[in-house]
Amino acid sequence: MTEKSIFPKSRWQINCSEKKLPFLKNSVMLVGLPGIGNVGKIVVDFLIDELKAKKLYHINSYYFPHTVFVTENNLVELPSIEIYYKKGSGKISDFIFVSGDVQPTGQESCYEFCDMLLDIFHDLKGKEILTLGGIGLQEVSEKPKVFCTGTTQAQVDVYKKATAVNPHLYGVVGPIVGVSGVLLGLSINRNIPAVCILAETIAHPYYVGIKGSKEILLVLQKKFGLSVDLNKLDKEIKDFEKDIVHTAQQMMDEMHKQGAVGQQSYIG
């Protein structure tokens, strides 16, 4: 099916892969974009593959870094963010997945993007938003800790009771920078329940936080009853590392050119 742009003259170019929006009920939006250890991205990409989610939106933007990626077939492509969906069955929730090569790093563009996500969430009859990310440390134990914060105490308590997340995040990290944080903040104004789940990982641009990702997957598996084989994540480490490290290297090169490296110590 040919993708059709729904905002062709905008600085946000959003192409829809379907003729009409899917009917979802009480869906949960999982957001995992590149950040420290790429923890959130690994989780969401793994679930997209394992659950065979269908692509709904493909997003390019003039606000994304002015660069292109060289693919394995030696062609170029623009950085993008994609939105997928998966209808659940029985007690399994419907899901909306947000993943991509980049996340908007400019202040205004980050807010614009998060507002757009909330509009899409509303159109798809969403119930709850989860942003996923990493906490950058110098060292991490064999079993990284997983923390949780959210827009209301009641929402945090739900995850505290249902899983092993630590709700005491204050003092562990500073401000949560980027989409992982701003999306939660804007959710408050729309009365949308939203939670951020963060796992400890290594604070290095080329480090792939597989251990932290697995701990978050265990939390999601327990909370939502997901039937996924986490052993496959170990088998796919090399592919994840190859793709993510290659992308990170290109993005870091671009950030060095712009003098942006070192300006932010934490991006979820």
Say what the pLDDT of residue 264 is: 37
The answer on pLDDT for 2 being more than 60 is no
pLDDT band at 244 (very low <50, low <70, confident <90, very high): low
Q: Per the domain annotation, does 186 fall within a domain? A: yes
- Strands (E) across the chain are located at 4-5, 12-16, 27-31, 54-61, 69-70, 76-77, 81-86, 95-100, 126-137, 146-150, 194-202
Percent of the chain with pLDDT over 70: 83
Residues near 81 by Cβ (< 8 Å), separated by ≥ 6? Answer: 33, 59, 98, 99, 100, 101, 102, 103, 113
Q: Per the domain annotation, does 263 fall within a domain? A: no
Say what the pLDDT of residue 246 is: 58
The DSSP element (H or E) to which 157 belongs, if any, is helix 153-162
Percent of the chain with pLDDT over 90: 57
Mean pLDDT score of the chain: 85
Q: Per the domain annotation, does 177 fall within a domain? A: yes
Q: Per the domain annotation, does 115 fall within a domain? A: yes
What is the rounded average pLDDT of the residues 98-125?
A: 94
pLDDT band at 249 (very low <50, low <70, confident <90, very high): low
Higher pLDDT, 100 or 1: 100
Q: State the first-to-last Cα distance of the chain, in angstroms, to the nearest integer.
A: 34
The C-alpha angle 168, 137, 201, rounded to 5 degrees, equals 85
Q: What is the pTM of this model?
A: 0.86
The answer on pLDDT for 261 being more than 50 is no
Say what the pLDDT of residue 245 is: 58
Q: How many CB atoms lie within 10 A of CB 99?
A: 24
Q: Per the domain annotation, does 161 fall within a domain? A: yes
Say what the pLDDT of residue 248 is: 58
The answer on pLDDT for 74 being more than 90 is yes
Say what the pLDDT of residue 240 is: 61
Q: Residue 195's beta-bridge partner residues?
A: 130, 150
Q: Residue 198's beta-bridge partner residues?
A: 133, 147
Alpha-carbon span 167 to 178, nearest angstrom: 20
Say what the pLDDT of residue 267 is: 46
Name the residue range of residue 122's domain. 4-257
Q: Per the domain annotation, does 105 fall within a domain? A: yes
pLDDT band at 203 (very low <50, low <70, confident <90, very high): confident
For tokens 């005491």, what's the residue? 168
The answer on pLDDT for 3 being more than 70 is no
Q: Residue 132's beta-bridge partner residues?
A: 197
Say what the pLDDT of residue 90 is: 77
Q: Supply the CATH number for residue 144's domain.
A: 3.40.50.10900
Q: How many CB atoms lie within 10 A of CB 22?
A: 15
Q: Per the domain annotation, does 80 fall within a domain? A: yes
Say what the pLDDT of residue 263 is: 38
Say what the pLDDT of residue 228 is: 84
Residues 105, 178 contacting (CB under 8 angstroms): yes
Longest dimension (CA), the chain: 51
pLDDT band at 237 (very low <50, low <70, confident <90, very high): low
Total domain count for the chain?
A: 1
Look at residue 62 and give its three-state secondary structure. Answer: coil
Q: Per the domain annotation, does 137 fall within a domain? A: yes
pLDDT band at 56 (very low <50, low <70, confident <90, very high): very high
The answer on pLDDT for 161 being more than 60 is yes
Q: Residue 52's beta-bridge partner residues?
A: none
Residues 211, 144 contacting (CB under 8 angstroms): yes
- The mean-pLDDT minimum among 6-10, 97-101, 105-109, 175-179 falls in 6-10
What is the rounded average pLDDT of the residues 219-238?
A: 81
Say what the pLDDT of residue 262 is: 39
